[in-house]
Amino acid sequence: MIQKNTFDAQPAEHRISSQREWLVAADDVLPLAAHVVSSRTGYTHHGIYVGDGKVVHYAGLSRGWRHGPVEEVSLTEFSRGRPVRVRPHLKSPFDCSDVVARARSRLGEDRYRILSNNCEHFCEWCVCGESRSAQFELWRTRFALLAALRFLGRFARQHTPPLLRRV
């Protein structure tokens, strides 16, 4: 039986939740083409489960400061001893075999860019056809908000009448 997408492959209790990630237990069988996520210090690392205990991921900075290409590794190597979660995609235009083929089509690619072509961009492209990174978009939004608040604070200090300023 061919599964149409990673959403169909999830246990029923996970299908009910909207877009929440679910933690993989040691005895869980991962659905083919699952978008898997593992937390690192300061970021999350992403990959595509391709079956037989293997994950295709953009090695990027997953091993420290030396970046690496798209590669196929064991789930154990991907997780590096950390918990693994599955990120559901409710509306993927691709079936599982297409997602796996898309992931494997980029094996060996070595054009990692932390802001525009990272492991999350890779997985979103494999599953949804669009290269994007929610964690980078969140970081960019927070950075822009912080910059705006700093600007407004300086502007307010410069334009507050002297009698209203704190001493």
pLDDT digits (tens, 9 = 90+) for 70-129: 999 999 999 999 999 999 988 889 999 999 999 999 999 999 988 889 999 999 999 999
**pLDDT for the residue 70:** 96
Radius of gyration of the chain (CA): 20
**pLDDT for the residue 143:** 57
Q: Is the pLDDT of residue 14 over 80?
A: no
In this predicted model, what pLDDT tens digit does every residue of 24-65 receive, in sequence order?
A: 988 888 999 999 999 988 888 999 999 999 999 999 765 666
Q: Give the whole-angstrom CA distance, residue 112 versus residue 34.
A: 21
Place of tokens 């054009």: 111
Say which residue, 139 or 55, is predicted with more confidence: 55
**pLDDT for the residue 122:** 96
The two tokens of residue 123 are 């997985």
**pLDDT for the residue 133:** 80
Say which residue, 132 or 38, is predicted with more confidence: 38
For residue 102, report the phi and psi dihedrals to the nearest 5 degrees. -65, -45
Categorize the per-residue pLDDT at 135 as very low, low, confident or very high, splitting at 50, 70 and 90: low
**pLDDT for the residue 15:** 38
Categorize the per-residue pLDDT at 11 as very low, low, confident or very high, splitting at 50, 70 and 90: very low
Q: Does the predicted model carry a pTM greater than 0.75?
A: no
Say which residue, 37 or 1, is predicted with more confidence: 37
List Cβ neighbours of 135 (8 Å cut-off, separation of 6 or more).
Answer: 43, 44, 120
Distance set, CA 59 to CA 23, 62, 117 (Å): 22, 5, 11
Distance set, CA 22 to CA 19, 35, 38, 121 (Å): 9, 11, 11, 20
Q: Is 138 helix (H, G, I), strand (E, B) or coil?
A: helix
> What is the mean pLDDT of the segment spanning 137-143?
60
